[in-house]
Chain A
Amino acid sequence: MNFLKRISKEFTGLKTIVLSLVLLNLISIASLYSSLHQQGQFVGGDFFSKQLTWIAFSWIVFIIFNFINYRLYYNLSFIIYTLSIILIGAVYFTGHEAMGAQRWLSIGGFSFQPSELSKLAIIIVMARFFSHPPANNFLKDFFLPFSFVGLSAFIIFSQPDLGTAIMVILIAFAIGLFSKVNKKYFVWVLIAVLIAAPFSWTFLKSYQKKRLTAFVNPNIDPLGSGYTIIQSKIAIGSGQVFGKGFLAGTQNQFNFLPERHTDFIFTVIAEEWGFLGSLFLLFIYWLIIKKIFDRLKKIRDPFAYYLTVGIGIYFFLHVFINIGMTLGIFPVVGLPLLFVSYGGSHLISSFILLGIFFNISRNYK
């Protein structure tokens, strides 16, 4: 009993998050199970058992990261960054096997998407840069940190994975806006990028142009992405207030929705659990993000502070953009729903980030 009490004390103010996580896991399992059905038949193969393995594995990772002192990432920040570059580079060079889709590295039977790791690395590197007072010098304050971001984003973009590349830039930019760096730099750079974009084509070498002409352009659907969005809207809308019930979503069950177990998992939830279910899910997300930002007022270390800001922003952007995408607010880019979509890479990196946050929290109770 003493032991339990100690644990409980250790996690003051964090129990809500743990509870929310368990709920999200359950929602994920249920909606995945449903999305793998077609006309009452289970068609998922080993997807389901794989995801259960991922979830179990993520919890182990989560617990381990709870016990790693977050200051370690300060010291290791550039090593972590370099590792992330090597891994995404490795995919670029060795991942050729998958023909045009080079995002995965395969370890054992499971494949891993190293671009997820680079989001993590960027948060850590940004937190390190911004934890020192700015020098009021464009090169030191802005150019240096963002050249790290640029390199990561560029390699991820050429894999090609536009969604993650944009995400990396958005996260870094958001942390940057929150830092003490002079905000006018951000405005300058935005303007410069807008002006420079059309000219960059002329600087490419002939073979680069050749490569670009042969570059496989990912288009989303034979009848345009409109089809996916219309089907997604019908699924969500027809869920009405209370939803159609578990395994009863017709849009889902009749295979109308592509990618419904990964990026479009939200449509399955909204169709089967209705507005109330969606509201509940959003509430859980909001709760987690709020708890993360609430902790900021207790933190007394700038590095921990910006790490926490980065983690909160990462969670927020993933939820907002993914759900916004299924609702047709944002264009369809490949992006999973936080803690819920099928897939191991994003699950593990989200759990790692949360593990880091828990460690910070226990240092600043």
Chain B
Amino acid sequence: MLFNPKSFFSKNQSSVKLLKRVVLISFSLLLLVLFNYQITKGSYYLRRAQNNYVRVIPLYSLRGSIFDRNGVVLAKDMASFNLAVFPYQIKNKKDSLFKKISQDLGLDQKIIYKNYKKNLRGFFSPTNIVTNISKKKALHLKEAYPKSLSINPTPQRKYLRPLETAHILGYVKKASSLKKQLKKYGYKPLERIGIYGIEQYYDSYLKGKNGGDLIEVDAAGNVVGFLGRKRAYRGKDIYLTIDSRAQEIAKKSLNKRKGTIIFLDSNSGEIITLYSSPSFDPNLFIKGKDLGSIYKNKASPLINRATQSTFPVGSLIKPLLAIAGLQENKIKPTTTFNCKGHLVLGSNRFKCWGTHGVQDLYQALAHSCNIYFYKLGLIIGPKKISSWAKKFGLDSKTFIDLPYEKKGFVPSPQWKKDKFNQSWYAGDTLNLSIGQGYLHTTPLAITLAINSIANQGYLVEPILLKEVEDAEASLAFRRTLNIAGENLKIVKKGLRKTVNQSSGTARILKNLSLEISGKTGTAQTSGRSHGWFVGFFPYKQPKYTISVFLENGGSSHQALRIAYSFLDKLKRNNIIK
């Protein structure tokens, strides 16, 4: 429908007038205020501008420290000593001063000039010309040039377990080294801001509040008065759920091989260990040194493989498929399929890794029999498998409190049609049923999916924050998957057999006598296969969930050995009982 042009345009004339009047009145208001400032009070403001220049010298706050669950310090601020000048004080003697200092320190004069230029923020701000020198040297120079130099101790971040916790903690950078737009958010150029990890995620807790000295300077630039100080407030301390001893054991167990170890409280989702290998030293970012070794490393140490990379999961999908089959009433635990070592579908042969004979669900899980799960997958159908994989969170974020988390991907017939304009083949269903093909997810997401079998069917939200100084933090969150308790018990029993049955795929873990249940996985890729193990213990009421992932590790066997060594050391060190 359209307006009747005649009435529409004639009636509007009065509101146009009103609009113009609003503009005129608003502008007049601005003029009135301007008149008041510039003419009525003009000489007053001019006097203020001429006589008293008020200047702020920022005082930077100390960042809060980060501790592990036992109160071990992981990151804290330490003093670093810098020599600074106030540009307005050295106006004419800059060159001679810099020359003398460079001679005293044996430092190239160019570096001093470079620092001066880089750190210059204004004529009344302390400007660092020599950074990071020993306290002794700093005091010595201050004595030699008491009028021109000042010692400017600034806090520097120090990571005490750098390699063990790099991916969890992240690091800090000076805001000035980032984009200038940060200034809009109240960051001062020299203020440090959390980049990556906990330092970034909880930056608002850690950063504290900057203060400043308010000084008066005259038109010549001399300080004529001290108006006041607004003190800086230290940031809040943060306690994490991780155990630094376990982080160290994880680091040793992986021994620089590409992969992850995740160890968490099955019920609360508290992360006790989250280690991604290879790791990096965040202290290098603080010092700005040797960063090439991090960036050039082909193993991409900066990536947190547990949350930022996705991989095919291989047989880890089988327990989830088993639950789907039971929930959808497609099978009973006693249903059997016969494994002859391969399955013929059209002109293709789909292999099993062994010839298992007649298998029920328990045996199929214990042996990780592909044929059983091929057939189960065909019965359930790709749409249902896809929707169950999504229900288990394989294509969503886990909402762990770390930035830049990636989510996985779960294929479906509709997706394949939209994306490749191809129909979904039975072969695709077979691949999906053993965790190959299009499906890929993060190690953390698949760990939490299997963890739901350990904790009566809850998808927990993983959490790294245990406590913030002076603040209540109750962040546990979990979501029920509405799976019948009976079905969970059946699958749990099957997963127990992988360890305690002599033919089980994870039997080497039996020696640990921790009553572990779990599932191995070997995921084929274009390169060497990925090795997986995810398990939980003790059997009756699981308390802990462990997951080991080895990128291009060859097979699940390697992952199992690492899981063994990790858990064994946790036990020996009394971290678990």
Contacts and interface: CB of A to CB of B under 8 A. Distances in A.
A197 B109 CA distance: 60
A136 B302 CA distance: 58
Given A213-B204, A222-B58, A241-B39, 20 more contacts: A99-B178, A99-B182, A101-B182, A221-B186, A222-B211, A222-B230, A223-B56, A230-B54, A234-B45, A236-B34, A237-B49, A238-B42, A238-B46, A238-B50, A250-B49, A256-B54, A278-B34, A309-B19, A327-B33, A327-B37
A239 B35 CA distance: 11
A233 B45 contact: yes
B273 to A, nearest CB: 21
B12 interface: yes
9 contacts: A99-B194, A100-B193, A206-B461, A206-B475, A207-B477, A221-B186, A237-B37, A240-B42, A254-B53
A236 B37 contact: yes
A231 B193 CA distance: 27
Interface in A308-361: 309, 312, 316, 320, 323-324, 327, 329, 334
Contacts of A323: 30
Contacts of B1: 132-133
A71 interface: no
A274 B35 CA distance: 10
Contact of B122 (A241, A255, A312): A255
A235 B49 contact: yes
Contacts of B9: 297, 299-300, 305
A302 interface: yes
B204 A320 contact: no
Nearest to A135: B1
Contacts of A206: 461, 475, 477
Nearest to A243: B38
Q: Rank and list the top 9 A-B pairs by shortest CB-CB distance, nearest first.
A: A237-B45, A240-B42, A238-B49, A237-B37, A206-B477, A218-B185, A275-B38, A238-B46, A219-B186
Interface string B1-43: 1110100110011011001100110110111011101110111
A274 B42 CA distance: 10
Nearest to B400: A207
A275 B211 contact: no
A293 B204 CA distance: 46
B13 to A, nearest CB: 7
A170 interface: no
B44 interface: yes
Contact of B182 (A98, A237, A278): A98
B515 to A, nearest CB: 32
A289 B23 contact: yes
A331 B180 CA distance: 22
A320 B38 contact: no
A241 B193 contact: no
Contact of A327 (B13, B34, B179): B34
B46 A207 contact: no
B26 A214 contact: no
B113 interface: no
Interface in B371-394: none
* Max chain B Cβ within 10 angstroms of own Cβ: one of A111, A131, A223, A299: A223
A173 interface: no
Nearest to B465: A210
B461 A216 contact: no
Contacts of A217: 204
B128 interface: no
B56 to A, nearest CB: 6
A222 B188 contact: yes
B183 interface: yes
Contact of B41 (A98, A104, A237): A237
Chain A interface category by residue count: 35 or more
A241 B43 CA distance: 10
A296 B54 CA distance: 49
B200 A99 contact: yes
A258 B212 CA distance: 15
Contacts of A297: 9, 13, 16
Given A240-B43, A270-B34, A133 B475 contact: no
B38 A278 contact: yes
A133 B3 contact: yes
Given A222-B56, A236-B37, A300-B5, A324 B30 contact: yes
A240 B39 contact: yes
Given A227-B56, A270-B38, A207 B461 contact: yes
Contact of A100 (B8, B23, B185, B475): B185
Given A210-B401, A240-B46, A282-B30, A293 B182 contact: no
Contact of A275 (B15, B39, B59): B39
Interface in A263-319: 270, 274-275, 278-279, 282, 285-286, 289-290, 293, 296-297, 299-300, 302, 305, 309, 312, 316
A10 interface: no
A103 B10 CA distance: 43
A39 interface: yes
A12 B257 CA distance: 75
A177 to B, nearest CB: 9
A251 interface: yes
B89 interface: no
Interface string B56-71: 1011000000000000
Contacts of A20: none
Contacts of B416: none
A251 B49 contact: yes
B93 interface: no
Contacts of A286: 23-24, 27
B101 interface: no
A111 B182 CA distance: 14
A236 B34 CA distance: 8
Interface in A49-97: 96
Contacts of A309: 19
A96 B203 CA distance: 15
B210 interface: yes
Interface in A21-52: 38-39
Contact of B181 (A98, A214, A275, A312): A98
A293 B13 CA distance: 11
Nearest to B198: A214
B178 A238 contact: no
Given A101-B181, A235-B49, A216 B203 contact: yes
Contacts of A99: 178, 182, 193-195, 200
Contact of B38 (A240, A258, A316): A240
Given A206-B461, A236-B37, A214 B19 contact: no
B64 to A, nearest CB: 13
A39 B123 contact: yes
B38 A236 contact: yes
B230 A133 contact: no
Contacts of B31: 278-279, 282
A218 to B, nearest CB: 4
A221 B46 CA distance: 24
A15 B201 CA distance: 53
Given A133-B1, A222-B230, A240-B38, A255 B123 contact: yes
A216 B175 CA distance: 14
Contact of B27 (A101, A132, A282, A299): A282
A215 interface: yes
Contacts of B182: 98-101
B45 A236 contact: yes
A18 interface: no
Given A38-B122, A210-B401, A237-B38, A329 B45 contact: no
Nearest to B13: A297
B30 A320 contact: yes
Contact of B210 (A103, A207, A222, A334): A222
B58 A296 contact: no
Nearest to A299: B9
A137 to B, nearest CB: 13
Nearest to A251: B49
A222 B33 contact: no
A257 to B, nearest CB: 11
